[in-house]
């Protein structure tokens, strides 16, 4: 479908579900966002969201997609809310996408509008060279070139009053793109009724009025979006917004300056903060609750972090398809070796390769989950939707085991997808790109744990004798054609790629070799 008509029984809108509780409780003047020197109240954010909605309504119909290639900022938050308030579909995009992935998303979503920070205009130019169509409106946040609209001017001229378009719980509200097994993005469709599902989890985290929440991950990730913009604002907490791409020093500065009470991050950042000697700073010791997701948290990092800060890290697992965690620990009940236990709002089951229930203690199986915030499938990809969703259940692809006390332990992925710093990476996409370099005979990418227990990508190449410095050439090609997070940290030349008798790559042998070579390098 291209558009959707509001259901006759419609009575809600995600923007109101997010901002409404604080406004209804008379907390209009409470601070919703902290950003640099700015303190944006709930009333101010509500008005700005209405301005965005009014500015865009002449350009979109109900159900039209609006792509957001914006850095984290109050503009991002207001745009996300305002698009939904106007009946459109908010589609935040990874600001570090490769041009071909952005081109695919623009075409796939049939976007009516693209909102873009001016610094990403060169990326848009390359996406157009890769075949991206032109949305009806390209609105630039910053300096707008000729032929494009000035987003700031459009919003400034709009009214701060807009009654939200009434929508049904199952009407589209926002999408998030996630990579598939082929590397092609998939648009996960989320609806207006998904927003309240995580309420009990926000309460478990301690979010509410007077609390401050900060995520080191950017808001185009489900982890951050669900637990700050959606859940954090809905709970009445203040969301700390950081515009730049995170590194350990900048994250430490944000924490020292704004003193969050709840902080979300990924194992890589916890490791980096420990490595750089920053975890002992006062700001980190003042955080009450730490939540880790995106990949399994090594137990060694848990203990080192607790020694430095005095505060434990709880962990959980969610997905782009679920928004909120379906398995997690809580501040009151967590196990440093386990991911956690199923959340009260989520049904979780463990199935074997024949999709039979796993009943034996500590036996592995693939996790399937069913919860109210589950996406309604992938846009225009019925085969992939059918493969991942069945009778309201979602096959996550994550392998777990469950002990006698009910703790769930992550064992890795049931397929070849890699999760690097919280983002899915397809080995096939890396291999295909590398194999296009002259002199490369074979290429195989695997994930292997480093010394801290975090998974990182290693690429193995078989090259012809006349290939020259093929590893350097491959590295240049990967950086030029793939998103940065997909590019392997290590590239090794080998005489052959180990395969089974049927020709399948023996990735477990490559993982072992990667750990040996990387440790030696």
Domain with residue 452: its CATH number is 3.30.300.30
Continuous segment of H or E residues that includes residue 50: helix 42-56
CB-based contact 415:429 (threshold 8 Å): no
Average pLDDT of the segment spanning 417-434: 77
User: Is residue 233 very low, low, confident or very high in pLDDT (cuts 50, 70, 90)?
Assistant: very high
User: Would you say residue 468 lies in a domain?
Assistant: yes
With both helix axes pointing from N to C terminus, report the angle between 99-109 and 121-129 in degrees, rounded to the nearest 10. Answer: 80
β-strand partners of 330: 333
* Weakest-pLDDT range from 79-88, 284-293, 300-309, 438-447: 438-447
74-98 tens-digit pLDDT: 999 999 999 999 999 999 999 988 8
- Can you tell me the distance from the alpha carbon of 48 to that of 159, in angstroms, rounded to the nearest whole number? 9
Let me know whether 236 and 302 are in one domain: yes
Helix (H) or strand (E) holding 93: none
Lowest mean per-residue pLDDT among 109-123, 197-211, 296-310: 296-310
Last-in-domain residue among 168, 188, 222: 168
Residues 430 and 404 in one domain: no
Say what the alpha-carbon torsion angle 347, 353, 355, 357 is, to the nearest 10 degrees: -60
Q: Please name which of 389, 405, 94 lies closest in space to residue 397, comparing C-alpha atoms.
A: 389
Comparing 135 with 354, the larger pLDDT belongs to 135
Report residue 422's pLDDT band, with 50, 70 and 90 as the boundaries: confident
Let me know if 473 is exposed, middle or buried by CB neighbors in 10 A (0-12, 13-18, 19+).
middle
**Structural domain includes residue 444:** yes
Q: Which residues of 153-172 are buried (b: 16+ CB within 10 A; e: fewer)?
A: ebbeebeeebebbbbbbebb
Mean pLDDT over 18-25 rounds to 98
Residues 223 and 366 in one domain: yes
Residues with Cβ within 8 Å of residue 30, at least 6 apart in sequence: 22, 41, 42, 209, 236, 238
- Is 182 a residue whose pLDDT tops 50? no
- Whether residue 311 is contained in a domain is answered as yes
Query: In this structure, how many other beta carbons lie within 10 angstroms of the beta carbon of residue 411?
Result: 14
Q: Are 190 and 175 in contact (CB under 8 A)?
A: yes
Please report which confidence band the pLDDT of residue 295 belongs to, taking 50, 70 and 90 as the band edges.
Answer: confident
Helices and strands, counts by H and E, the chain: 17, 26
Same domain, 359 and 279: yes
For residue 202, the model assigns a pLDDT of 97
The distance from CA 471 to its chain's CA centroid, rounded to whole angstroms, is 30
Q: Domain count of the chain?
A: 3
Same domain, yes or no: 385 and 248: yes
Residue 48 CA to residue 53 CA, distance in Å, equals 9
Domain CATH code at residue 311:
3.40.50.12780
Query: Which tops the pLDDT comparison, 435 or 192?
Result: 192
Q: 123 with 226, same domain?
A: no
Distant-in-sequence, close-in-space partners of 405: CB < 8 Å, separation ≥ 6: none
Mean per-residue pLDDT, 107-131: 97
Residue 242 lies in a domain: yes
Residue 8's pLDDT is what? Answer: 41
Predicted local distance difference test score (pLDDT) of residue 15: 98
Average pLDDT over the chain, rounded to an integer: 92
Work out the number of other CB atoms within 10 angstroms of the CB of residue 472. 10
- pLDDT > 90? residue 415: no
Q: Do residues 272 and 388 both lie within one domain?
A: yes
Give CA–CA dist 121/116, Å, rounded: 7
DSSP helix/strand/coil, 372: coil
Model confidence pLDDT, tens digit, residues 368-407: 999 999 999 999 999 999 999 999 999 999 889 999 999 9
pLDDT of residue 267: 87
d(CA 437, CA 477): 8
Cα–Cα–Cα angle for 171, 174, 175, rounded to 5 degrees: 115
Residue 187 lies in a domain: no
Model pLDDT, residue 507? 81
430 and 402: one domain? no
Q: Is residue 270 a part of any domain in this protein?
A: yes
- Is residue 319 in a domain? yes
Whether residue 236 has pLDDT greater than 70:
yes
User: So what's the pLDDT on residue 179?
Assistant: 63
Neighbours of 430 (CB within 10 A): 25
Q: Is residue 474 scored above 60 in pLDDT? A: yes
CB of 70 closer than 8 Å to CB of 58? no
- What is the rounded CA–CA span in Å between residue 173 and residue 18? 12
Triad 440, 96, 297: Cα angle to 5° = 85
Q: Over 50: is that where the pLDDT of 2 sits?
A: no
Is there a single domain that holds both residue 380 and residue 313?
yes
End of a domain among 349, 378, 413?
Answer: 413
For the chain, what percent of residues have pLDDT higher than 70?
95
- 395, 441: one domain: no
Please tell me whether residues 441 and 367 are part of one structural domain.
no
3-state secondary structure 455-494: EEEEEEEEECCCCCCHHHHHHHHHHHHCCHHHCCCEEEEC
- Domain boundary, last residue among 135, 168, 201: 168
Q: Are strands 365-371 and 346-351 parallel, antiparallel or unpaired?
A: antiparallel
| Domain shared by 312 and 229, yes or no | yes
Please give the residue range of the domain that contains residue 404: 212-413
Highest mean pLDDT among 3-7, 148-152, 420-424, 429-433: 148-152
Instruction: Give 279's DSSP letter.
Output: T
In a domain, 190, yes or no: no
The count of other CB atoms within 10 Å of the CB of residue 203 is 13
Residue 244 is encoded by which pair of tokens? Answer: 């730049």
190 HSE (CA, 13 A, CB side): 29
Each residue's pLDDT tens digit, 26-75: 999 999 999 999 999 999 999 999 999 999 999 999 999 999 999 999 99
Answer yes or no: is pLDDT of 4 > 70: no
Q: Specify the pLDDT at position 426.
A: 72
Residue 79 maps to which CATH number? 3.40.50.980
The pair of structure tokens assigned to 464 is 């012809």
Band the pLDDT of 294: cuts 50, 70, 90: confident
Give the Å distances, CA to CA, from 72 to 78, 97, 269, 402. Answer: 11, 15, 18, 38
């Amino acid at each position: 479908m291209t558009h959707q008509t509001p259901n006759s029984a419609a009575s809600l809108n995600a923007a109101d579900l997010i901002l409404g509780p604080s406004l209804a409780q008379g907390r209009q003047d409470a601070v919703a966002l902290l950003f640099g020197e700015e303190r944006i109240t709930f009333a101010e954010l509500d008005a700005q969201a209405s301005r965005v909605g009014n500015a865009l309504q002449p350009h979109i119909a109900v159900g039209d997609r609006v792509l957001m290639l914006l850095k984290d900022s109050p503009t991002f938050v207001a745009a996300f809310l305002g698009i939904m308030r106007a009946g459109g579909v908010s589609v935040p995009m990874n600001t570090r996408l490769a041009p071909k992935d952005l081109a695919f998303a623009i075409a796939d979503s049939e976007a009516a509008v693209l909102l873009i920070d001016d610094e990403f205009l060169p990326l848009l130019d390359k996406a157009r060279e890769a075949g991206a169509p032109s949305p009806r409106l390209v609105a630039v946040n910053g300096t707008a070139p000729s032929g494009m609209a000035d987003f700031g001017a459009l919003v400034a001229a709009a009214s701060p009053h807009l009654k939200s378009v009434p929508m049904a719980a199952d009407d589209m509200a926002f999408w998030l793109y996630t990579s598939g097994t082929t590397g092609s993005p998939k648009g996960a469709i989320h609806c207006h009724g998904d927003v309240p599902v995580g309420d009990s989890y926000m309460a478990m985290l301690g979010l509410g009025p007077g609390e401050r929440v900060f995520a080191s991950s950017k808001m185009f990730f489900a982890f951050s979006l669900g637990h700050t913009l959606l859940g954090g604002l809905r709970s009445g907490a203040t969301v700390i917004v950081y515009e730049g791409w995170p590194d350990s020093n900048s994250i430490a500065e944000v924490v020292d300056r704004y003193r969050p009470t709840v902080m979300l991050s990924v194992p890589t950042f916890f490791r980096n903060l420990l490595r750089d000697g920053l975890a002992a700073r006062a700001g980190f010791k003042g955080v009450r609750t730490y939540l880790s997701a995106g990949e399994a948290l090594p137990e060694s990092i848990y203990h080192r972090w607790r020694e430095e800060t005095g505060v434990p890290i709880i962990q959980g697992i969610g997905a782009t398809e679920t928004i909120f965690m379906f398995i997690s620990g809580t501040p009151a009940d967590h196990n440093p070796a386990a991911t956690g236990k199923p959340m009260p709002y989520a049904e979780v089951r463990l199935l074997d390769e024949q999709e039979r229930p796993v009943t034996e203690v500590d036996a592995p199986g693939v996790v399937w989950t069913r919860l109210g915030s589950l996406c309604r499938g992938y846009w225009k990809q019925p085969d992939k939707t059918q493969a991942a969703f069945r009778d309201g259940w979602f096959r996550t692809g994550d392998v777990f085991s469950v002990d006698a006390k009910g703790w769930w332990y992550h064992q890795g992925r049931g397929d070849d997808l890699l999760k690097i710093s919280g983002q899915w990476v397809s080995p096939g996409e890396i291999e295909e790109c590398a194999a296009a370099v002259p002199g490369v005979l074979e290429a195989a990418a695997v994930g292997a744990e480093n010394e801290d227990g975090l998974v990182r990508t290693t690429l193995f190449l078989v090259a012809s004798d006349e290939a020259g410095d093929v590893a350097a050439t491959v590295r240049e090609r990967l950086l030029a054609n793939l998103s940065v997070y997909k590019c392997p940290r290590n590239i090794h030349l080998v005489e052959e790629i180990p395969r089974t008798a049927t020709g399948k790559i023996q990735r477990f042998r490559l993982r072992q070799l990667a750990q040996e070579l990387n440790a030696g390098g």
